[in-house]
Structure 1
């Protein structure tokens, strides 16, 4: 058992990587992951797959999270979840995860253990195993995850440029929860389901596959805001998207959050959270006429011929806000 009070500098790289590798974590049953070389060598050697899906993303302390508002375990879970979501958005299932970590020398082994527990918990939930990683020193905590998934033999990935005029627009979950949770955290309300939704998104495992099997033409992860991600999908597909306010799924907790925060125009605030909040990591896709849309998806609008990337709300143009990775929030 590792001394949780030891710092990373005192314990050394091998000890930290041993914790991150999850040597004590039980194998995930039913994943079918049988790699020629697993974690612990210079590189993992992956088993054969019909098609491999790979994505990577970083979480940087002070930019994507604050340790005074979230735990080390939740940072680990969130880093895995947001990468898994991108794999799901291709119509694939996640099978493997790699973790690269940069931490200050004074980081304790207890904090590393908490982070690793979060990483493995979320990987397990997603049906994946951790197959490698890296460690270095830095002034702040930086966590980078690479997620790897697979598509069945003969299955085409779901791209963002496949939407056609006449397609139905639908999404999973209820967007806006993460943004409302962050607003509550910043206002000094640390606990609640919305706050936890911000700390750790829960990507809809299985829904990407369900969309692909149902015949979806396009799919994307809602990470930068519903309008911004929908606009990107519409632009790539060369179409215009029309949304209907009354069709948007709205969690009743958003109204409670607006009241707690003393918002004067609660309706407009809720709409802003839903349309531009970001970091919910649901799936947004388009389906051709005549197909049966999976039950976890809510229909919110349609696609038509028009200016590529344009989005209207109840017939009126709406400029996307949300998150731009280079500029920050708009």
Structure 2
């Protein structure tokens, strides 16, 4: 698997990342170990996790799997902070005490002395930004974190965060942001991508398959074993099961058929090759699904088909490069 530089930083990651959001909930130890081994053997390096994933059980499971497979030194381990569970609810808290406590717990559960990338999961209006960024700076200068980034910030929040952290005494840079980005969700192109290009940051795309809709599995209804049929995930998927988005899926399916690939592989290749993208995060319930997804690494979408998909999915969400 090819590696990419994250923005202008020295951090290099595989251009496909292994997501672990369902580990500890829908994915058990055995399946997780098989997926991690498959991913690493395919040349993948970036593994993305968070304290709230798997209903809070993900990081302990990932720590066990990293130990049992002996793969910690072969992966770029990306964690998060600022979302936490209290009284059964997920709340935003980017205060210094909370995020540094989360870091300590993550390191213990993951069985490692450092994270390669540590990301603020969500913007928190209730905490001064400088306080959060000072915690990131401390994590780097104390050696527990190598690089820092953000997640789900708007364009102006990204620019403000970058400038504020770079202006602190240690001059630690923000190197990346994670945002949702797919053929069905292109809002990042309006303000986030131009900000990243200007600041020299890299984009890590989550849900590049449009919450599963771009696999084509919902073209003829909602499969009983899909997230769309699961009460816990129904509201997550439902916004993408609309007539206008169905047209994008049909165009994608036709392109995939013509190229001899799956719709998921074409959708991933499209996102992967967009401006500023360093990596796309993929997750799977089974190793077989992961193997099919990883095959997108070898897929190249011809320029004319890539442009057709861009046009049919774009609306007003055009990248700055396309506007020029």
TM range (shorter): under 0.3
Larger Rg: 1
More helix by share: 2
TM-score normalised by length of structure 1:
0.27
TM-score normalised by length of structure 2:
0.28
More strand by share: 1
Of structures 1 and 2, the one with the larger relative CO (CA 8 A, separation 6+) is 1
